[in-house]
Amino acid sequence: MQSVIRVELPEQSYDIAIASGSLDQLGEQCSGLSLGKKVLVVSNPVVFKHYGGIAIASLKSAGFDVYTCILPAGERYKTLNSIQKIYDVALEHRLERSSTMVALGGGVIGDMTGFAAATWLRGINFVQVPTTLLAMVDASVGGKTGVNHPQGKNLIGAFYQPRLVLIDPEILKTLPVREFRAGMAEVIKYGVIWDAGLFSQMEESKRLDQMRYLNEGLLTEILNKSCQAKADVVSKDEKEAGLRAILNYGHTIGHAVESLTGYRIVNHGEAVGIGMVAAGEIAVHLQLWDQESTQRQDALIKKAGLPTRLPAGLDLDAIADVLQTDKKVKAGKVRFILPTQIGVVTITDEVPADVIRQVLHQMQAA
Amino acid sequence: MQSVIRVELPEQSYDIAIASGSLDQLGEQCSGLSLGKKVLVVSNPVVFKHYGGIAIASLKSAGFDVYTCILPAGERYKTLNSIQKIYDVALEHRLERSSTMVALGGGVIGDMTGFAAATWLRGINFVQVPTTLLAMVDASVGGKTGVNHPQGKNLIGAFYQPRLVLIDPEILKTLPVREFRAGMAEVIKYGVIWDAGLFSQMEESKRLDQMRYLNEGLLTEILNKSCQAKADVVSKDEKEAGLRAILNYGHTIGHAVESLTGYRIVNHGEAVGIGMVAAGEIAVHLQLWDQESTQRQDALIKKAGLPTRLPAGLDLDAIADVLQTDKKVKAGKVRFILPTQIGVVTITDEVPADVIRQVLHQMQAA
């Protein structure tokens, strides 16, 4: 059974199509979008080995000419250098304005492919086929694309919407456990910022740390409700003028942690988990929400097998410094998304530096 | 006296403000746009030496914090490498989403600054202060930004609109003659594709090859009518879905000539002049317009001191090959803009390869 979530935007709306086993209908789904004949599939070696064959066969049988660009896996390759490799392949096969780039991979591949599609010939078609839970529920929806600057995450990029997001939950069966948990961090985020019902459903599940412990109904709910939450927020505020900022819950300190550990020690989801714990504690300090709520949140994060403390050896001054380079800084003030109850958050740039420091100090590895 | 041309676009409209001696009102003009406090002025050494001081003083006296990034002059520096330099300065001074990049220079500086502004933090404010005739009448209006790929011009880029275009004709007094002529190529283009009145006004002028031979009234007409033509076309078709393509008149072969000569032998305007002569001849071969019109066009191009023949030593096969990498190629067919009468053009991808070759052969240097 397929569920379709429509992301309504002023310039270009698109569907998120969620259905088990749908990867082999990729070509068919693309056929309905009036795309040109040429398709460039961008992926990484691991994902491509598992799913490249199915994706390409499906596209070819729908009549597309298919080319590939395989980039090394990992956040540290999310650079302008990788984008240049995509450009080179695009040039080699003479991609045209009507051509399409398909991102077959996780958030890193999706962000880079989207940015390359946004900037090749000033913008060609773009289709997302996310292969991680994180990319399915977050990165592939909403049009944020880009790469890292050596000194900061996602500093270079563009808002650019896909024509289609195709989500096949079957793909998650080969996802490493650690990657699954990383995705759960974003799912928990939607529970805290937007959907108290989803939060409760996850509380009812005995375990959340591996996909095989989730019943199929819960997985479907997780995918649908997360994508719906993101679609709701993005439709209301595509370019992050206001509301959309709530999606950055847990990301302010999360990004700093990722950046300072060179994108190697903790992955994005783990960093967001840590960032949510920090944001929750800050909210308690500022008396925005209560101890019980923050404990419920932290319990869910732990149940998903995610860390709730800072990685060992992180310098608190360095974190404070990196916070100043965050995209969300305005007039020198760091912007925080803080919870007020399960399902509701507020945006503030009035968090005293000593509160941040105190919370981070509590969270240092024992 | 200031004239203001409004470019109406669905997402963001903006003004082109044209007034003699207005550079020292840059800060004041920016103040009305609700920009953040930080402004990064991007320029090249020659332009900056002449006009950097006035621009910066004006911005500072309006209360802005001003930083600068000076890039080497010339089309061959219009690369991702230069963009990375802008990113580095943006990071150094912690530019924020509300900050602004000001392009103070010609088309190369404008295209690069616009692309950097489009992609830094997924888009910050952007103001154009064009300092060449070419940039005033063409590059600064319409939102095309980007850089060259080693193997093709403007293959990398984005559509990104400025918040303001400030045009001060006084600046043209220091413009080298060859640069002035290059700008006249685009002005003649507007005459051929859109504004027969402008075309006639230029025919009436005794000389067009140096600014000092133009009476002030004609220069004002040239700036106003050219910007108005561009604004009209861009407002109707921001992302080049159809009509906007007519602005590429003369550019199909022009780009190939520029690219094959390494952006060194002929400049952009000269290449467009050559491209218009070629397009005119192709149109005659296809019986789309008459010999008299093509002669009137070529006479105007010559009167502006522009070349009407291919640079020596260009290989015709190489031109044919480069045409295939043009952004305007669709399903392998090269798209041409061809004139049907002075002031009117048509778009076609049905130009036989042997006609192109025959015309280029005629146009080879004696």
Chain A: nearest CA to B243, how far in angstroms? 16
Residue of B nearest to A329 (CA): B96
Residue B320 in contact with partner chain A when CB distance is under 8 A: no
Considering CB atoms only, which of B94, B122, B327 is closest to A121?
Answer: B327
- Residue A355: alpha-carbon gap to chain centroid: 28
- Tell me, what amino acid is at B287? Q
Say if strands B14-18 and B164-167 run parallel, antiparallel, or are unpaired. parallel
Residue B98 in contact with partner chain A when CB distance is under 8 A: yes
For residue A130, the model assigns a pLDDT of: 98
Q: Name every residue whose Cβ is closer than 8 Å to that of residue A309 and which is 6 or more positions away in sequence.
A: A274, A277, A363, A364, A365, A366
Is residue B124 a known part of a binding site?
no
Residue of A nearest to B152 (CA): A91
Helix (H, G, I), strand (E, B) or coil at B337: strand
Tokens of B198: 């402008």
Is B106 exposed, middle or buried (CB count within 10 Å of its CB: 0-12, 13-18, 19+)? buried
Q: Name every residue whose Cβ is closer than 8 Å to that of residue A272 and which is 6 or more positions away in sequence.
A: A185, A186, A189, A250, A251, A254
Distance CA B167, CA B187 (A): 15
Residues 249-278 of B with CB under 8 A from A: none
Q: What is the mean pLDDT of chain B?
A: 94
Query: Between chain A and chain B, how many beta carbons pairs sit less than 8 Å apart?
Result: 101
Residue A280 in contact with partner chain B when CB distance is under 8 A: no
CATH topology of domain B3-174: Rossmann fold (3.40.50)
Catalytic annotation present for B207 = no
Q: What CA dihedral angle connects B281, B283, B286 and B292, to 10 degrees?
A: -70
Q: What is the pLDDT of residues A265-319, one digit of tens each?
A: 898 899 999 999 999 999 999 999 999 999 999 999 999 999 999 999 899 999 9
Question: What sign results for the dihedral spanned by CA atoms A210, A214, A216, A218?
Answer: negative
Say if strands B336-341 and B344-348 run parallel, antiparallel, or are unpaired. antiparallel
- Whether the Cβ atoms of residue B36 and residue B167 lie closer than 8 Å to each other: no
- Work out the number of other CB atoms within 10 angstroms of the CB of residue A175: 22
Comparing A3-174 with A177-362, is the CATH topology the same?
Answer: no
Is residue B93 a known part of a binding site?
no
Q: A192 pLDDT band (50/70/90 cuts)?
A: very high
When computed from its CA atoms, the radius of gyration of chain B, rounded to whole angstroms, is 20
Tally of CA atoms within 13 A in the half-sphere of B122 that contains its CB = 22
Catalytic residue among B11, B94, B122, B350: B122
Tokens of A25: 């209908």
**B-chain residues near A158 (CB < 8 A):** 118-119, 122-123, 158
Chain A: nearest CA to B199, how far in angstroms? 31
Question: What sign results for the dihedral spanned by CA atoms A256, A257, A262, A264?
Answer: negative
Is residue B165 a known part of a binding site?
no
For residue A221, the model assigns a pLDDT of: 94
Inter-chain residue contact B146 with A119, CB threshold 8 Å: yes
**A-chain residues near B36 (CB < 8 A):** 330-331
Residue A354 in contact with partner chain B when CB distance is under 8 A: no
Residue B64 in contact with partner chain A when CB distance is under 8 A: no
Tokens of B246: 């007519």
Q: Where are the domains positioned within chain A?
A: 3-174, 177-362
Q: What is the pLDDT of residues A97-148, one digit of tens each?
A: 999 999 999 999 999 999 999 999 999 999 999 999 999 999 899 899 999 9
Inter-chain residue contact B122 with A157, CB threshold 8 Å: yes
Query: B324 pLDDT exceeds 90?
Result: no
Residues 67-86 of A with CB under 8 A from B: 80, 84
Q: Which residues are paired to A102 by β-bridges?
A: A41, A127
Chain A: nearest CA to B333, how far in angstroms? 11
Q: Name every residue whose Cβ is closer than 8 Å to that of residue B225 and which is 6 or more positions away in sequence.
A: B190, B195, B197, B198
What's the complex ipTM? 0.85
Output DSSP code: residue B248.
G
Distance CA A275, CA A249 (A): 8
| Catalytic residue ranges of A | 122, 144, 186, 230, 240, 244, 248, 251, 255, 268
Q: Name every residue whose Cβ is closer than 8 Å to that of residue A322 and which is 6 or more positions away in sequence.
A: A152, A255, A256, A259, A260
- Whether the Cβ atoms of residue B125 and residue B100 lie closer than 8 Å to each other: yes
Tokens of B18: 């044209």
Is residue B290 a known part of a binding site?
no
Distance CA A277, CA A298 (A): 6
CATH topology of domain A177-362: Dehydroquinate synthase-like, alpha domain (1.20.1090)
Distances (CA, A) of A186 to A64, A135, A239, A247, A249: 34, 10, 20, 9, 9
Catalytic residue among B85, B163, B225, B244: B244
Catalytic annotation present for B309 = no
Inter-chain residue contact A91 with B157, CB threshold 8 Å: no
Residue among A253, A245, A283 nearest A270 (CA): A253
For residue B328, the model assigns a pLDDT of: 66
Inter-chain residue contact B121 with A155, CB threshold 8 Å: yes
**B-chain residues near A91 (CB < 8 A):** 149, 151-152, 155, 325
Catalytic annotation present for B186 = yes
For residue B76, the model assigns a pLDDT of: 87
Q: What is the pLDDT of residues B39-90, one digit of tens each?
A: 999 999 999 999 999 999 999 999 999 999 999 998 889 999 999 999 999 9
Look at A63-72, A320-329, B239-248 and tell me which has the smallest mean pLDDT: A320-329
Tokens of A311: 């990685």
Give all strands of the β-sheet with B100-105 in edge-to-edge order. B3-7, B14-18, B164-167, B125-130, B100-105, B38-43, B65-70
Residue B150 in contact with partner chain A when CB distance is under 8 A: no
Q: Which helix (H) or strand (E) holds A156?
A: strand A152-159
